[in-house]
């Protein structure tokens, strides 16, 4: 009987297989570099850089700036500017908002892109972002919404969908790591949900959109690439079609800033004409009767028409309603002054002078309240 030689004491045992490394290596064979993820990050950084270069605030851009760069706002978007449903996903409200979103995209993006392929990943990301924008459109009528959060929530919704479809494929250790990133991202957004003007509806819409798409997909690791890409495009197109159909049912609502701008233009024109009449009467270039006729024909009709239009606006209770009511008081006071002045100039009834000073004071007091609200 021959004895077998003993193994050397310093012999190194073969390392146990690492399921995470094996899984990631298999995914890397399908797509070596997540180019779409890197491209999305680059586009978002580029757009933010252009915003800053144009003078937009680095940390806290104004709602006006965000809207100008493509943010979604129900009175504009639902009135026909549907491109905002997509463009708003690439505009960010400050540097911290951008960095948080891109850090999470860098974490989850490569995995989802390698799982679904370049085209499938971009389709899911885009459809989720649009789904988030549409739900935001339904929920928020007076908030300018922007950011990639909805699309990124869609990636996590997509991950949940993939897990239901492929429950045993993704290693537990990898899921744990991805789960930590998800917890940080979701936790950050939940904390922010207590702040004013935070769009949680967009996050939920993106999450649901991503889940609805990926629930019916196979991982690239186990499925046929062409079939998965084709199915992703079909499902993404279906989601976009459904949510866009829902978006067309949204009533545009009131674009408060636009309404105020319209009134301001009418006010400036009326005040300029009134000042010209005052100077004309004082300088003797026009008669009292001519000034009265100009007030009655040129100033009061558009002023009253604008007052009627603003009074019919359907504003929800809140700051805008209060601001509009304050503005209407000013408009009424100005109309009362001009109406009395027109009668005085036309009839030369000196008794009307008694109430004129009080009407002027009423205009000044109402205007002061408008200015205080505008600060």
Four-residue CA torsion sign, 143, 146, 149, 152 = positive
Instruction: Read off the pLDDT of each residue in 355-366 and give the average, rounded to a whole number.
Output: 92
Q: What is the 3-state secondary structure (H, E, C) of 59-118?
A: CCCCHHHHHHCCCECHHHHCCCCCCHHHHHHHCCCCHHHHHHHHHHHHHHHHHHHHHHHH
Q: What are phi and psi of 346, to 5 degrees?
A: -80, -40
pLDDT number for residue 176? 81
Instruction: Tell me which residue has tokens 């459809």.
Output: 127
Instruction: Quote the pLDDT of residue 130.
Output: 96
Pick 214 or 174 by higher pLDDT: 214
pLDDT of residue 1: 45
Q: What's the start-to-end Cα distance of the chain, in Å?
A: 101
In whole angstroms, give the CA distance from residue 297 to residue 115. 71
Q: Which residue has the higher pLDDT, 184 or 4?
A: 184
| Residue 326 pLDDT > 90 | yes
- For residues 347 and 322, is the Cβ–Cβ distance under 8 A? no
What's the CA gap between 119 and 123, in Å, rounded?
A: 6
Q: Say how far apart CA 216 and CA 82 lie, in whole Å.
A: 28
Whether the pLDDT of residue 14 is over 60: the answer is no
Q: Rounded distance, CA 276 to CA 291, Å?
A: 10
* Helix, strand, coil % in the chain, rounded to nearest 5: 75, 0, 25
pTM attached to this predicted model: 0.77
354 or 181, higher pLDDT: 354
CA of residue 355 relative to chain centroid, distance:
49
CB 116 within 8 A of CB 228: yes
Residue 253: DSSP 8-state: -
State the chain's mean pLDDT as an integer.
87
User: What is the pLDDT at residue 190?
Assistant: 67
pLDDT tens-digit readout, 108-166: 999 899 888 899 999 999 999 999 999 999 988 778 999 999 999 999 999 888 888 87
Q: How far apart are CA 243 and CA 247, in angstroms?
A: 6
- 328 pLDDT exceeds 50? yes
Mean pLDDT of 211-228: 76
pLDDT digits (tens, 9 = 90+) for 17-61: 677 787 777 777 777 789 999 999 999 999 999 999 999 999 989
Cα separation, 233 vs 212, in Å, equals 13
Rounded CA-CA distance 106/84 in Å is 24
Q: Looking at residue 13, what DSSP letter applies?
A: P
Q: Taking residues 251-279, what's their average pLDDT?
A: 92
Q: Which residues are catalytic?
A: 149, 203
Which pLDDT does position 200 carry in this prediction?
A: 85
What 3-state DSSP class applies to 312? coil
Q: Which token pair is 322?
A: 């209060």
For the ranges 4-13, 90-99, 162-171, the one whose mean pLDDT is highest: 90-99
């Amino acid at each position: 009987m021959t004895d077998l030689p003993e193994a050397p004491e310093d012999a190194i045992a073969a390392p146990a297989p690492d399921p995470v490394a094996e899984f990631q290596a298999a995914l890397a064979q399908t797509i070596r570099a997540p180019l779409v993820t890197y491209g999305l990050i680059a586009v978002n950084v580029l757009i933010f850089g252009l915003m800053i270069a144009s003078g937009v605030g680095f940390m806290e851009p104004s709602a006006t700036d965000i809207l100008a760069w493509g943010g979604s706002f129900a009175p504009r978007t639902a009135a026909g500017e549907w491109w905002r449903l997509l463009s708003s996903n690439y505009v960010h409200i400050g540097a911290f908002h951008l960095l948080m979103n891109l850090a999470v995209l860098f974490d989850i993006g490569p995995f989802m892109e390698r799982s679904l392929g370049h085209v499938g990943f971009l389709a899911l990301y885009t459809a989720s972002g649009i789904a988030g924008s549409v739900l935001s459109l339904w929920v928020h009528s007076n908030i300018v919404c922007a950011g990639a959060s909805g699309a990124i929530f869609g990636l996590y919704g997509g991950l949940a969908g993939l897990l239901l479809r492929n429950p045993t494929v993704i290693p537990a250790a990898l899921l744990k790591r991805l789960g930590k990133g998800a917890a940080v991202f979701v936790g950050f957004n939940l904390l922010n949900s207590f702040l004013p003007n935070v769009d949680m509806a967009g996050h939920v819409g993106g999450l649901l959109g991503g889940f609805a798409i990926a629930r019916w997909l196979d991982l690239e690791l186990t499925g046929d690439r062409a079939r998965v890409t084709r199915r992703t495009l079909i499902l993404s197109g279906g989601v976009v079609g459904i949510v866009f159909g829902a978006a067309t049912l949204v009533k545009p609502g009131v674009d408060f800033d636009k309404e105020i701008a319209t009134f301001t233009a009418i006010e400036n024109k009326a005040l300029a004409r009134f000042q010209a009449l005052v100077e004309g009467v004082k300088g003797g270039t026009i008669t009292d009767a001519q000034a009265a006729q100009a007030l009655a024909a040129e100033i009061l009709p558009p002023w009253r028409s604008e007052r009627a239009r603003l009074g019919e606006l359907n504003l929800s209770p809140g700051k805008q309603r209060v601001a509009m009511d304050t503005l209407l008081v000013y408009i009424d006071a100005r109309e009362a002054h001009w109406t009395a002045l027109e009668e005085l100039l036309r009839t030369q009834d000196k008794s009307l002078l008694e109430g004129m000073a009080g009407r002027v004071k009423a205009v000044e007091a109402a205007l002061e309240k408008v200015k205080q609200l505008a600060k």
